[in-house]
Chains A and B, each alone.
Chain A
């Protein structure tokens, strides 16, 4: 019997395995009918101990399109956790009913605990501010589909680079590819944490900091937007002074490359003006679609089907 695999952090997957997942997802897009019954009689448990819209819908849609079934809960109040059940007990119980588990939990490390006790593969669907590997897979799939390659790209990361877990994971995943340059676009208050900066330097990755979004745009192949949250600032004056520097507006794309793509993990609030939505370079809703396909590929991979 092959060893049980889980996905807790994006680094649990090798570059070859990520490439394999992307090729499965490509094939699903090209030949959806070949996959529509492939998980018949298989069940995915979505154990969401905190509310989520996109991630849960995406996992549910992914399993349904593979012909499988989905069971689970979408908040801790409707699970035994409300009665004081431990994560490990919940997961052992869920392993009896499902073939694979996608789990979101507000506490960091909960999916790691789950993986230690589960009898079936566990996918971390987000654990607090810690890891969210399927978002990173979604981002990689989107870049692959839109740019054709995961190497030789200049990637602008804009907004909250200090607390944004999606940004940290994307950096961790992308530095394994050749020819990647980063342009960090954030207020000083939300600069990349020093341990991530140290990692970039240790890996010899080229990167720089630009304090104004408009200034950075012309050289970018990918612009990854995140939200600058008011509560991250010590005072409102600083927030008001800085927030407009990190809002993407349609006119700012005039200086962008024709094939640049704009990404965002969603939900957006106001950091991308709605007039950008109609620009062909806006890729954030396409990104949500890619999230479904790459999760389909991941389910097949962890179940040992592909």
Chain B
């Protein structure tokens, strides 16, 4: 299968196989005004299988969201078909407007206008705490 290369834009590589769509939605790539390709289940020497997203256009993506989702993803910045920067992700120190606090006693549970915000309390265990109530963020089961 032939997918054109990116002239100026971003290639997200080493996405865990099967997670391409999730990343696409998370980054709001359905709203960008350029060509976006999701390539799924590509052979990878490192991970066996992987997904790749190619964005052919000058867009900004939220590296914090991406870092929180999976630090193994590599971000390749392309200009004039040349790789100009490779970003290795890390867990962001703070996450604003990404996660939602589920503590029913938290002020965010009653005031809809407050932007949910978390800080990285324990990088080893990827533990984030709500800046308002300090409760640990738990993924939905």
Contacts and interface: CB of A to CB of B under 8 A. Distances in A.
B113 A86 contact: yes
Interface in B93-126: 103, 105-111, 113-114
B132 interface: yes
A109 B113 contact: no
A110 B107 contact: yes
B110 to A, nearest CB: 6
B37 interface: no
B78 interface: no
A107 B105 contact: yes
Contacts of B61: none
A130 B113 contact: no
B122 to A, nearest CB: 10
A87 B107 contact: yes
A110 B108 CA distance: 9
B114 A113 contact: yes
Given A112-B131, A113-B132, A130-B134, A107 B109 contact: yes
A51 interface: no
A129 interface: yes
Given A86-B113, A113-B132, A130-B134, A105 B107 contact: yes
A113 B107 contact: yes
B23 to A, nearest CB: 30
Given A113-B132, A130-B133, A108 B114 contact: no
Interface string A103-124: 0011111101100000000000
Contact of B133 (A86, A87, A88, A108): A108
B132 A112 contact: yes
A106 B134 CA distance: 15
Contacts of A108: 103, 105-107, 132-135
Interface in A76-128: 86-88, 105-110, 112-113, 127-128
Contacts of A88: 111, 113-114
Nearest to B112: A86
Contacts of B111: 86-88, 113
Interface of B: 103, 105-111, 113-114, 130-135
Q: What 6 A-B pairs are tightest by C-beta distance, nearest first? A: A109-B132, A108-B133, A107-B107, A109-B107, A110-B107, A109-B133
Interface of A: 86-88, 105-110, 112-113, 127-130
14 contacts: A88-B113, A106-B105, A107-B106, A107-B107, A108-B103, A108-B106, A108-B133, A109-B108, A109-B132, A110-B107, A112-B131, A113-B111, A127-B107, A128-B105
